[in-house]
Amino acid sequence: MDALISLKNVVKLYRRGKQSVEVLHNLSLEISSGEFLALMGPSGSGKTTLLNLIGGLDRPTQGEVWVGGVRIDKLSGSKLAAWRSRHVGFVFQFYNLMPMLSAERNVELPLLLTSLSTAQRKSNVSAALELVGLSDRRKHKPSELSGGQQQRVAIARALVADPTLLICDEPTGDLDRETAEEILNLLQLLNRGHGKTIVMVTHDPKAAGFAARRADLDKGALVTASVAA
């Protein structure tokens, strides 16, 4: 009832040739608004698949996926895309910035899908870049930024449309210890200071420690859903 995100008896099958592989088995999960959840598990456990379902990048074979009171697994192509642009921000392990656009143009991308004016877009972009501490690098291209800086730009891009939730898939996987901590601190700030709901997949227990709750996946099913200290 308080749950922002609710998965009910979700099953996901992938077809490999003639064989079907069941990646998620009858999975049910609830995430409240304002939560910071870490999803952990060995490779092949289905964490990325679960993330894709929550983010509306994929549909379950069976079951229901509810986000913010909307049953997203029933949304059609363009409606789903529109929903995504308004409600979800993605942060990936390898940043996935457009190499030929500057930082600020990268951050602006989600806003192009809205009806905001040029001035409004500009001010939102500035706000997002300031939030992640990269205002002075706005004109740089990704190739001119360090790994940590690129991830910050990616986070700014994920935030700029003020989405309901942030989905992070191994956000620190490609960063060194120090930079990883900076990024995780930033995520924590966004969660505690700005109330952003965050679902983060990680294989690093230390990174999971930055989250408020941790869920473990193994072979497509939830093992534990514990509250971290």
Chain contacts with other proteins (rule: CB under 8 A): 52, 55, 57-58, 77-78, 81-82, 84-86, 90, 92, 96, 98-101, 105, 109-110, 112-113, 118, 121, 157
The first and second tokens of residue 87, run together, are 């409600």
SS3 state at 132: coil
Nearer to other proteins, 77 or 193 (CB): 77
Specify the amino acid at residue 83.
W
Nearer to other proteins, 109 or 212 (CB): 109
Q: CB of residue 228 vs other proteins: minimum separation in angstroms?
A: 28
SS3 state at 59: coil
Nearer to other proteins, 84 or 214 (CB): 84
Q: CB of residue 51 vs other proteins: minimum separation in angstroms?
A: 10
Chain-centre distance for alpha carbon 188: 14
Nearer to other proteins, 141 or 213 (CB): 141
Q: CB of residue 86 vs other proteins: minimum separation in angstroms?
A: 7
Residue where the block lists tokens 């360090």: 146
User: What does the CA dihedral 172, 148, 185, 3 come to, rounded to 10 degrees?
Assistant: -60
Q: CB of residue 181 vs other proteins: minimum separation in angstroms?
A: 26
The first and second tokens of residue 8, run together, are 């009910």
Q: How many CB atoms lie within 10 A of CB 19?
A: 7
